[in-house]
Each structure stands twice: as C-alpha cells, then as structure tokens.
Structure 1
C-alpha cells in the first residue's frame, strides 16, 4: 500500500508516491494551460484541474491514503449543490484587483489587514480576488441570492467536488487575508472589507485529519492531509525548529522561516506571519513568509528573448559576477513582493553597456533573483537568527553559478537536497503521519560553501531596486 501526494501546482498536477527512505517518486504529471484573457490576468480552467487530479490519483498503484497540496492564493467560485465551478480559477499571479488594492490602501484599510490577517494589502492574496468574483460575475451574484454560492481557494473546491468535504486547511486560509491569524477563524470585518460573504466560505480545519475520500478506480481512498505547497515544502525540507529556513526557487521564489508556537509580526520589514501547519489535535505552528514574484519566470523570460537556448549553456556560466562589474537586473517583471510590496515596480537593467552580451545579461538575471531572495532572508534574520545552513530546492538549484552567487551574497552555507520532490515529500509525510506512520526524512544534500565575501554587493543591488521602484510605467 502506498501513501501518495497530489501536488497541484501553478503549471502542472503531479502524483507522487512516498518511498520507504522518505523521498517521493513522481508517478504521473499532467501540465495544464495558462490562460491570459487580458494583460495582468492569469486564469486556470477548474475542470482541467479536476481532470488532472483524477488522472494523477488513478495512476498511483494501491494507494492507502492521499495528501493534497495546493497553489495557495488561487481561488474561484462554485455551486454549492452541483459543485460545478461558476468562475475560472483566478491564479495567485493575477493582478486584476490592483486598482481595488490602491483604493483600499488610500482608505487606510491596510492597518486592519495587518492587524487581523498579518498580511499587507496586495492583489497576490485571495480576498480581493474573491470580492471581484462576487462583484463582477452575474452567475456568482445569482447563486449568492439563492444561498447556493461557494467561494474559496482551489483546495476547498477540489475537496468539495471530489470528497464531499467543503473545508480548507488553516495554512491555506492564512493566505487569503480573510482569516484572523490569532483565532484561526474567518474574520467578519475582513470579509466585509473585501466584499466576501463569510457564509459562502468553507470551514477552516487543521492540516491533517479526515478530508473525506477520493474515488480511485472504484475504491474510496482517504485524504488525510491538505495544505499550501510552500508549507508542504517547508515540512519536506525537514524544518522542525524555530529558525529553520527553506527557499524554493520555482516560478517565483518562496522563503519560509519556522517560528514555532510564536506569531512574529514585522510589517515594517515586509514579512508575513503565516501558519506553517497544524496537526490534528494540536496547536498551530507558525512561520514567516517572504515571496519573490519572479524567479525561474525571469530566467525563462530571458530565454524567450533569445539570450540562451539550452540550460546546459546556462549551467556552465562562470567568472566574476555581473553585479561586481556594475550590471544589475531587478526581476520585478510582475512587481516586487517581500519586503517591498510594490506592484508598480518595473523589471530593470541598470548599467548596460555595448560590451554586455548574452552571458553577462543572463548572469545578471540569475544574480537578481539571488539578491531578491537574500533581501528576504536578511529581513527574517533580523528578527530571528537563521539556524544552520539554508535549505534550497527548485529548478534554479541545478545551476552552479546561481548557487555559488547566492552562498556568496548571503555569506552562509547552503544545503541543496538531492530529493527533488520536497513539496510532494512533505505532503505525503503529513498524510502518513495522520495514518500513524512515521517516515524517514530521506535524501542527501549537496553543501555549497561561500567562496567569496560578496554581501557588500547587496547595497549596490539596492540602488537598482530604487530605480525599479521609481520608474512608473
């Protein structure tokens, strides 16, 4: 019998089987479409995601239990009785509510969101997206009037549709800007602020427990864990002690530091308190979160410009940093998240000259992503010292130049896991824990030591960030 994870991510859905050594093996992967109906809008087809989840679950041989992780801030509306979606999935990257956020900030509403949810006002979070759905989609308004509207993040839709349980776990709820971080429940004032009817939201439950059962090839297989993908990765990295830090370099870069039983608030540093996980029958464990909107997205953008063709070439980059020679790139292609939270910032090259070719430009992109992650780590470390090496994963962790520059700029040791599936591992381990099974941590790690003290380059990068924020398109 197999404990498995369904990793429902931004670009694909994957089924992973938990191995005896604690690693996770990909059983099936299904990519889905990225839909861009207007500039700044990003959507997914809910039915396509449901079909992908079903296909992935059915690919697992003899499943004993599933854990499911989700995209976090992506959300939608659906019919309470038929379970049919009545909106597209509005993806976490979507910026259609940017003007609403500006208006709310002008009204001083950020004081309330920081106090209650621990989150700044930003189009990244689900609350404004859900309010937009209620305000702009006639079918949603019609169902609301009939008392048949459901609103929530993708996890609640998946569970309601596939297991009959309309619930969301506390980690996902903590990413909406509608949950009171202290009580772990929906907050009436926050719901009123964003125009989200609280009665339409799913019940908030712990990360592990009874999430119903998936029908897999005619057999009911229990779902015993559900949480946000980045929190799943934090657990998969083996972070268990306050001060443990992991960075996942995917489409964006996501830095999480475990803070234990304590909620650390640092709005002046742009850091977000969040729930790491809550085991059934136990109190929540908290973390600090800091996101970078563009990581591998910036690299792929550079590839699309024709700066390189294959990743083998990119992985062979070497020589002194571009930043050391005066060339900086700020990867604000979708604005700047933590610690700046400035959607108006623009992607910026500073210091270009006729001498710069594709290699220098791509080095500057890699360095820009590393510097943005370093900004977040530095902000976190000023509140709670990071313990031990920083644990790194994600596609960009395969690039030697990037890893060495990151170690140098942070002036600290990196630990790069050989287990490439830490999100799925974390999800499956939590599902196993809920079944009463303990699993080995699994995998070894490559250690990257600083080779040169380059922390001083962050001050130079900060000058480029100021240009990025000053240039309004």
Structure 2
C-alpha cells in the first residue's frame, strides 16, 4: 500500500492535538489533551515540558489507533507548535532545567527596558525584524541562565541545549539524535538574522547566550530525523513539515501570494500578510518574519501580534464564572442589541500591536448601573475583533495594499457573532474554511511536499475547501461609533 497518510502534531499554548490526514486532505482522526498553565507570579506564564512531551506521545498513539492506519502506511510526522515559548534542557539527562517560559510571559520586561537603554533596540530590529519585547524568546533564555543555579557554567561547557517547543519535541522523539529547528521558529527568537538566515553572533553576545546551545536550522520541508522506537514503540517515521503555528496556518490557508492575509484566532492572535521574497522595513508595531523556507528558499511576512483574544473569553468563563459553556456565552451575546458602551481591554499580559506596551493592564470600561454579565461576555468577544482590526489597518497602511478578504482559522471562528462583527469592523469579507486545524494542515502540506504526497503548491490549492463567508452589513456610522469607543477605552488603559 502507498504511504498515503501524514501523522500531524499541533502543540499549542493550551494543549496538544494529533491528527491523521490522507492525501486528499481529509482528517481521519483526532486526539487532544490539555496541559496545565503555571502562573508563579503576576505576569509570569510557564509550561511543564515533560508534561507536554508525555501528552504528545499519548495523542500521537491515540490518533493512529482511532484512524486504524498502520505505522507502515504513514509517510511522515509533521509538527507545528506554539512559537516563542522556549526551554533549556540538559543534553545528558534529557531533562529540562526549568519550566518552559511561555510567549505570554512578561517576566523579562525590565530586562528589555535595560537593553533599550543600552541602545541596542534598533540593531536588534534591523537584524531580526522583531521588537525588543518579552514576547520573544532570547530574554527568556537569558533569564533561565541567570537564575537557575549553575546553568550558565553548564551552558558554557556545552552541557545544555535550548530550543522552542519544536526543537524539544524533535530532540525527545528522536531520542536525542536531532537538535534542529526551522526558519520560522528561529525567526521568532531574537537570535536569528533574517537577512543572513543564520544565528547571529552579535545577537548572541547581546543576550549572553552560548552558540553551542543552539539547534541547527532547517527548511520546513526538510527531513530532520526519525522517531525512535524507544520513544514511540513500533512507530518509526521521518519527521518533516516543522513550522511555527501561525506560519503553518498561513500555508494551510494557501496564502501563497504577496498581499494575502490571514488571522489565526486562539489564546492570542497572529495576523499575517505574505510579502514575498523581499524584506520590508516596517514601523507601527508590525514585525517582519520568515513565512517559510522550502528547499532553502525563504519568503517573508508582515505580522501583527495580539497577546490576548480567545483568552479574554476564557478568563470571563474561568475567573468570573459568568457562564458554563461557550454555547451559553453565544446565547448571552445574541440576547443583546448592542454593547451599550461597555468595552473590555484584555491587556492581561500587556498590549501588542500597535502599542507594544508591556506595562498596560486589563480593564473593563464604560459600565453603568444597568450593566449585566451579558455585556461583559460581549465585551470580551468584541475585543478580539477590535484588536484584529487594529492589526489589519496597520498592515494596509505599511504595505500600501488594501486587503479584499481576511482568511480566518482557529476555534473561535465557529462563533458566528464574532465572525460577523469582525467583517463589520473591517468592512470587508471574512472567509473561514471547512477545516479549523489550519496550522496542522500547513505542516501536513509541507511534510507531504517533502515525501512526494503532493508535487507542488498548485496541487495543494486543489484541496482547499472554503467554509462560511461573512460580508459586512453594519452601516458606517455604527461601525465608527463602536471602533471609536474601543480606541477611547484603550487610551485609558495606556494612561493608567
């Protein structure tokens, strides 16, 4: 039998999901597990890397079992992952020396401020396309080396390795045989020069990180190693299709041409515009990153980063306990005719584009004596649409390209109120897909290109299945009133 199936892993901020996909792009099975979120101090966020790895092994095995596809019929294992989250581990014991520090974590805000005072921010931006912000990985590594006893000495002796979650999983799954990452994940670390496409010695010196800790950089369609049977008994698969989750969604959305834009809705959100093979200088809080590297050929994106979108509604559910299920939340929102001037600015870990204020904190603005819990739920949902509009508006301004549609993916895209409100705020079409797991599908397509399951991007385009489309229906006066209220609310948070 032809090896016509890809086993896909999506290791996200909230959990790990595995799928089996056939050559027609059909998802045959799914398995998922959440992992614990650790908040040891205000603004700090951590994950247990060993919990993640054990969960990954479980969901991979379960997805294969449910699909009834034999390991011998699998062509490859594809991996997409939460970006910027990083960890350091001992290469002799295979154990982390500290929890993974998550992209949301703000513990290095003061470190970033000190580096800015030293005048290195512009140099970092020129080399990496990124901002000097706790969101990205390098200062997290420096924090670990500075705060874990004996870590720096061991690192300098070559005894420690660092990596984003993709590196960690590949290293573990190959039983320590492959220490790699791909261009997309490397481009989020503040250590990778997007112009030379290499780890940058000057950046390593700025952040005090020994080069010997770093993984080898690969193209997203490279074969990087094989799963080891000591880790996954009876499963020995080539690993390919490694790509950061947001770039994976861009590829999964088939945004192959310059000017195409997608938004991934999750804990936070990434809004990306494909800009081709040339780097574009930006301002206004946008960053430039690698879209993907295929056979050594690299393309680029502009990206707007929103720290908190879906997590705002989750906070309302888990912390305020205003509803029990997301279906209940949708019913609550649909019971209202308007937001009645109530806005939530979900700056729980600061604000991303266009402000990049790590000190901003969340607030609910505009409440009156008549405000009910339904208004708070609606404000949480609306905040996602406003923040994504902020990002798209900046992209259009910087690129000179007026977008005609926004391709969307992620769990929240099933919320018809949010999607319609998004279309109304942007005043153009929002298009979902039949498949919500676009990050996974992007990695699947790349792995499939590597093993010959598909021959070209053109073949992959034939697999696209559009879902529901939303066209704007809100009048300009109402749209402007809503958005002006949002901007006024944000201005209050920025001045606290």
Which category of TM-score, normalised to the shorter sequence, fits these structures? over 0.9
1:464 aligns with 2:489: yes
Structure 1: how far apart are the matches of 2:489 and 2:257?
35
1:284 aligns with 2:309: no
2:114 paired residue number: 103
1:296 paired residue number: 310
Q: Which moved more, 1:149-158 or 1:2-11?
A: 149-158
Structure 1: how far apart are the matches of 2:330 and 2:149?
50
Q: Residues 314 and 399 of structure 1 are in contact (CA less than 8 Å); yes or no, is this contact kept in structure 2?
A: no
2:220 paired residue number: 207
1:406 paired residue number: 422
> Structure 1 residue 145: deviation in Å?
4.1
1:321 paired residue number: 338
> Structure 1 residue 151: deviation in Å?
1.7
1:185-220 Cα distance to aligned partner (Å, 9 max, x none): 111111111111122211112111121001343342
Normalising by structure 1, what TM-score?
A: 0.94
> Structure 1 residue 136: deviation in Å?
1.2
1:243-300 Cα distance to aligned partner (Å, 9 max, x none): 1111111111111111111212212x100100110112x4201111111111111001
Q: What are the equivalent positions in structure 2 for 1:42-57 lying under 5 Å apart?
A: 42-57=45-60
1:11 to 14, 17, 21: 14
1:382-401 Cα distance to aligned partner (Å, 9 max, x none): 13325442111222212222
> Structure 1 residue 230: deviation in Å?
0.9
1:217 aligns with 2:217: no
Q: Which moved more, 1:241-250 or 1:77-86?
A: 77-86
Q: Which moved more, 1:385-394 or 1:247-256?
A: 385-394
1:336 to 347, 351, 375: 351
Alpha carbons of structure 1 residues 192 and 258: separation in structure 2 relative to 1, 3 Å:
same
Alpha carbons of structure 1 residues 4 and 288: separation in structure 2 relative to 1, 3 Å:
same
**SS of match in other structure, 2:40:** coil
1:155-194 Cα distance to aligned partner (Å, 9 max, x none): 2222222221111111000000111110111111111111
1:100-157 Cα distance to aligned partner (Å, 9 max, x none): 1121122222111111111111111000001111111124224224321212212222
Q: Which moved more, 1:28-37 or 1:78-87?
A: 78-87
Alpha carbons of structure 1 residues 145 and 120: separation in structure 2 relative to 1, 3 Å:
closer
Q: Residues 406 and 429 of structure 2 are in contact (CA less than 8 Å); yes or no, is this contact kept in structure 1?
A: yes
1:41 to 40, 44, 68: 44
Q: Residues 21 and 442 of structure 1 are in contact (CA less than 8 Å); yes or no, is this contact kept in structure 2?
A: no
Structure 1: how far apart are the matches of 2:281 and 2:51?
38
1:190 paired residue number: 203
Q: What are the equivalent positions in structure 2 for 1:100-139 lying under 5 Å apart?
A: 100-139=111-150
1:78 aligns with 2:75: no
> Structure 1 residue 426: deviation in Å?
1.1
1:353 paired residue number: 368
1:394 paired residue number: 410
Structure 2: how far apart are the matches of 1:331 and 1:157?
31
Q: What are the equivalent positions in structure 2 for 1:144-293 lying under 5 Å apart?
A: 144-163=155-174, 164-215=177-228, 216-267=232-283, 269-280=284-295, 282-293=296-307
Q: Which moved more, 1:235-244 or 1:11-20?
A: 11-20
> Structure 1 residue 233: deviation in Å?
0.9
Normalising by structure 2, what TM-score?
A: 0.90
2:469 paired residue number: 447
The structure whose RCO (Cα within 8 Å, separation 6+) is larger is 1
Structure 2: how far apart are the matches of 1:226 and 1:433?
12
Q: Residues 13 and 49 of structure 1 are in contact (CA less than 8 Å); yes or no, is this contact kept in structure 2?
A: yes
Structure 2: how far apart are the matches of 1:69 and 1:244?
21
Q: Residues 211 and 225 of structure 1 are in contact (CA less than 8 Å); yes or no, is this contact kept in structure 2?
A: no
Structure 1 gap ranges (5+) = none
> Structure 1 residue 26: deviation in Å?
4.1
Aligned residues: 467
**SS of match in other structure, 1:274:** strand
1:30 to 28, 33, 56: 33
Q: Residues 321 and 364 of structure 1 are in contact (CA less than 8 Å); yes or no, is this contact kept in structure 2?
A: no
Q: Residues 71 and 229 of structure 1 are in contact (CA less than 8 Å); yes or no, is this contact kept in structure 2?
A: yes
